A and B are shown apart, each in its own frame.
Chain A
Amino acid sequence: MTATQLYPGAPAIQTIDVRRVYKSRSGFTFGGQKAGKSVTALDGVSLTIQKGELFGLLGRNGAGKTTLIKILTTLLSPTSGEAYVDGLDVNKYVIPIRKKIAMVSGGEQSGYGILTVREQLWMFAQFYGVTSQAAHKKIDQLLEAVGLGDQANQKVYALSTGMRQRMNLCRALVSDPEILFLDEPTVGLDVEASRIVRDYVRSWMQEKPGRTVLLTTHYMFEADELCDRVAIINHGQIVAQGETDDLKKGLQEHARFQFELSEWAPAFEEELKQSRGVVSAQTMNKKGKVSVQIALENEEYITSAMQTISSAGGHVLTLRRIEPTLEEVFMRLVGNSDEDKAAGEDEV
C-alpha cells in the first residue's frame, strides 16, 4: 500500500473546516415533495489528534459528535472541508483507512443474534483477514478482559444490552486497529462494566505506542479520567479544546474553598464578605450541615479568611479546596440543557 506510506508523520486524525449538512428530503421520495429542511450537524470543525492520544469529544445531544465519527469512519461523506485519517483523505482512500480503524457505538442492539459471541467475533476477524487461529486466541483474551469469558459460546440474542456492548468492543478490537472510535462506549453499562471498559481502553492504549482513541461521552468524569485532551463541540462547532487541566485552569479565575462550620451565625457571611481578598462568600445549609463557600482573589488570602471566621466566633470543622471540574467547564461553555444534566448526573 503506497498510499499508507505517503504521510509518515501524519496525525492520526485531522479535519479541516469540515461541514456536514443533512437534508431531510430524500431525492428518491416518490410522490409528495416535502419541503427540503436541512440541518447543519457540523459547521466548520477543525481538529488535529496525534497518534497515541486518547482524545475526548464532548457535546450535548445533537451537537454533531456521532456525525464526525461517521465521517472519519468512512460511513458518511462530509458536505465540505477535508478529513484525514492517518494522513489519508476519507474521500479517496477508503479501503486503506478501513484497515486501520474500528468503531464501537454504545447503546444499540446490534448483532447477528443467531451467532454465538465467538462466532460473531471470528467472522469480523475474517473480514479483516486475521487467520482463524490468531483470531480465536485474540477472542479468548478479549472476552476474558471485558468479563465475557463465560459468554463466549452463548448466542448473541441471549446477551443483555451491556454484554452486547462489551462484545461490540471486542469486535472492534479483534482486528487490532490503530485508531479506535468509541461513540459513548459506556452508555447503559453498569458501574462495574463501565469501569472494566475504561480500564481496558486505557490498557489497550498502553499496550502498543501509537494507538489512538477518539471517544465521545456524556460522562464528564469519564472524559476527565480517560482523556489526554478533549474538545467541546456545540451546534457543530468546536468551542474549546485542550488538555483537561488547562481547560479547568482557564476557568478558574479565583481560588475557591469550602468550610464546614459547627454552627451558623449570619455574621459569618457578612464578616467574610468584608475580609481582604474575598471575592464572594455564600452560606449553604445542606442536610443540617452548615458550610460556607468563598472565592478568593488569590489562595494566600485563605489564612486571613480563617481568622475572620474564628474572630467572629465560628468554629471550622473542615476546610476543602474546590477544584473546578470538567463538568463546570462544559456547562460554562455550552450552557445548560435538561437532557445533559440528566445524562451527566447519572453516575457522578
Chain B
Amino acid sequence: MAITEREQRNSHSWIHSLRAAVWLEWQTRGNWTNPWLFTLYILGKPISAALVLVFMYEVVSGGKVNTMILGYLIVGAATWAFVDTVMGEFPRTVLSDREEYAMLKYVYIAPHRFITFLIGRAAPRILMAAVAFTVTLIIGVVFLKIPIHIFSINYLLLTVTMLIGFISLIGFGVAFAGLALVLKRGAWDMSTAISGALYLVTGAIFPITILPGFLKDIALVIPLTYWIELTRRAVLGYSSPGMPSGWAITLFYQIITTILVTTIAIIAYYICEHFARERGQLDRVTGN
C-alpha cells in the first residue's frame, strides 16, 4: 500500500508541482480583494505603452497618420505585453521566494525540477497578458481605426505562433531565473535591461531594417522577432519590412530560433544553478 502510493507519486509529481505552482501564483499575486485595481494592474502598463507610441507617432508624422503604421505599432505593443508580463516573472519568483518568503530552499529541495515550478509561477501571467493583448487591440480598432477585421484574422497562425512564442518566453525567463540565482544584486535590473534591449531589436516598435547591420543580424536569431512579425501577419494581414515574405518560412525561422534559444537558455540555467549550489546561494538572503 505504502509502496504503491509512493510509486504512483513518482510518475505524477511534475504535473502536481506545475499545478500547485500555478495555484500559488494565483493566490499570491492576484489582488482578488479589489477586482478594479487588479484590472488596472493587468491593463495599465501595456495600454499606456501602446498609447505613448501612438502619440509619439502622431507628433512625428505631423498629423498625417497612416493606419497601417498605426496597426504595426499597436500589434507590436500588444504582443510585447506577453514579453513584459511573463518574462520578468521568472527572476521575480526567484528573488521573492528567496528574499521575501525565504521558501526557495524548501521548494528547491522538493523532488521536482525547479524549472517546472518556475514555469508554473509564470503561467498565470500568460493569461493576464492575453487579456492585455486583446484589450489593446480592441482599443486600436475602436479608437484608432487600425485595419483589423475580426473575420479576416488568421486564427490558426495566431494560435501556432503564440504557442511557440510562449516557449521562447519560457526560454528567456528560465535563463533570467538562472541569473537571479547567482547574481546577488542586479539580477532584476539585468532582466529589465535585456528585455528593454529586446524591445528595440526585435521589431516590436520599428522595422528591423532601420537597425545597424550587426543588430539586424542579432534580430534575426531572436525568436521574438518572428513571433511579433507572425502575430502582425495573422492579425493585420500584411508583412513588415526586412522580414521573410512567406508566413511559412517565417514560422520555420520562429521554430528554429525558438529551439536554439530555448536550448541555450536551459543549459545556461543549469550552469547557473550549478554555480548557485556550489556557492551556497540557494538560500542566501542578500537583503537588498
Binding site for B on A (CB under 8 A): 1, 22-23, 26-30, 70, 73-77, 95-96, 98-99, 101, 103, 108-115, 119, 122-124, 126-130, 134, 171, 175
The distance in angstroms between the C-alpha atoms of A162 and B254, with both chains bound, is: 53
Known: A26-B279, A99-B111, A110-B101. A124 touches B106 (CB 8 A): yes
Contact of B106 among A27, A30, A171 (CB under 8 A): A171
Say which size band chain B's interface belongs to: 35 or more
Chain B contact surface mostly? helix
Interface contact A115-B27, CB-CB below 8 Å? yes
Q: Is the CB of A109 within 8 A of B111?
A: no
User: Using Cβ atoms and an 8 Å threshold, which residues of chain A touch B216?
Assistant: none
Residues of B within 8 A of A122 (CB): 20
Cβ–Cβ contact B111 & A95, under 8 A: yes
Indicate if the CB atoms of B13 and A101 lie closer than 8 Å. Answer: no
User: Are B282 and A128 within 8 A (Cβ)?
Assistant: no
CA distance A189 to B191 in the complex (A): 41
Segment from B4-12, B145-153, B162-170, B224-232 that makes contact with A: B4-12
B22 to chain A, nearest CB (A): 11
Contact call A114/B27, Cβ cutoff below 8 A: yes
List B91-136 residues whose CB lies under 8 Å from chain A: 101-103, 105-113, 117
Residue B280 CB within 8 A of the other chain: yes
Say whether B103 contacts A127, CB under 8 Å. no
Q: Which of A28, A76, A111 contacts B280 (CB 8 A)?
A: A76
Roughly how many angstroms separate A175 CA and B183 CA in the complex, as a whole number? 31
Q: Is the CB–CB distance between A113 and B277 below 8 Å? A: no
A126 touches B20 (CB 8 A): yes
CA distance in complex: A101, B110 (Å): 9
Chain B neighbourhood of A175, CB < 8 A: 110
* CB contact under 8 A between A127 and B17, given known A73-B109, A75-B283, A95-B111: yes
Excluding A28-B183, A109-B102, 16 further A-B contacts by CB distance (< 8 Å) are A26-B279, A30-B186, A77-B277, A98-B109, A98-B111, A99-B10, A99-B111, A103-B105, A103-B106, A103-B109, A110-B101, A111-B101, A124-B110, A127-B20, A129-B12, A175-B110
Which chain A residues lie closer than 8 Å to B111 at the CB level? 95-96, 98-99, 127-129
18 contacts between A and B (CB under 8 A): A1-B10, A23-B279, A27-B275, A28-B184, A29-B184, A74-B277, A75-B277, A76-B277, A77-B278, A99-B10, A110-B102, A110-B106, A113-B101, A122-B20, A123-B20, A127-B16, A129-B9, A129-B16
Distance in angstroms from A115 CB to nearest chain B CB is 6
Pick the 6 closest A-B CB pairs, nearest first.
Answer: A129-B9, A126-B20, A110-B102, A129-B13, A127-B110, A98-B111
Is chain A's binding surface mostly helix, strand, loop or mixed? loop
Q: Choose among A28, A99, A124, A175 the residue with the greatest number of B CB atoms under 10 Å from its CB.
A: A28
Q: How far is the CA of A44 from the CA of B8 in the complex (A)?
A: 39
Quick check: is B211 within 8 A (CB to CB) of the other chain? no
Task: Tell which of B17, B102, B280 has the most Cβ of chain A within 10 Å.
Answer: B280
Cα A115 to Cα B103 with chains together (Å): 13
Contact of A119 among B6, B27, B186 (CB under 8 A): B27
A66 to chain B minimum Cβ distance, whole angstroms, is 10
Is B201's CB within 8 Å of the partner chain A? no
Q: Give which listed residue, B16, B24, B105, B113, contacts A75 with CB less than 8 A.
A: B105
By a CB distance below 8 angstroms, the chain A residues around B282 are 75-76
Most chain A CB within 10 A, of B103, B106, B108, B184, is at: B106
Q: Cα distance A126–B20 when bound, in Å? A: 6
Question: Considering the chains assembled together, what is the distance between the CA atoms of A109 and B99 in angstroms?
Answer: 11
**Would you call B288 an interface residue if the criterion is a C-beta within 8 Å of the partner chain's C-beta atoms?**
no
Residues of B within 8 A of A98 (CB): 109-111
Q: How far is B139's CA from A280's CA once the two chains are assembled, in angstroms?
A: 95
- Residue contact A110 to B103, C-beta cutoff 8 Å: yes
B contact residues around A101 at 8 Å (CB): 109
In the complex, what residue of chain A is closest to B274 when comparing beta carbons? A77
Shortest beta-carbon distance from A261 to chain B in Å: 55
In chain B, what residue has the closest Cβ to A29? B184
Cα distance A32–B107 in the bound complex, in angstroms: 34
User: Is B28 an interface position by the 8 A CB rule?
Assistant: yes
B183 to A, closest residue via Cβ = A28
